[in-house]
Amino acid sequence: MIDMNLKYFRKRSGITQEQLAARLCVSRQTLAKWENGEASPNIEDCIKMAEIFKISLDDLVKDMPEDELPLIAPRGKHFFGVVTVGERGQVVIPKEARDIFGISAGDKLLVLGDEQQGIAIVKPDEYESFARHILEGLKKRGDI
Could you read off the pLDDT of 26-59 as tens digits, one per residue? 999 999 999 998 999 999 999 999 999 988 888 8
Predicted confidence (pLDDT) per residue in 97-138, tens digit: 888 888 988 888 888 888 888 888 888 877 787 788 888 888
- How many structural domains is the chain composed of? 2
C-alpha span between 82 and 105 (Å, rounded):
20
Flag whether 130 is in a domain: yes
Q: Are 34 and 3 in contact (CB under 8 A)?
A: yes
**Coil, strand, or helix at residue 53?**
helix
CA dist., res. 69 & res. 60, Å (int): 10
Question: Which residue range forms the structural domain that includes residue 100?
Answer: 95-141
Q: Do 6 and 66 sit in the same domain of this protein?
A: yes
Q: How confident is the model at residue 65, as a pLDDT?
A: 65
Q: Are residues 8 and 54 in the same domain?
A: yes
Same domain, 56 and 99: no
The reported pLDDT for the residue numbered 72 is 60
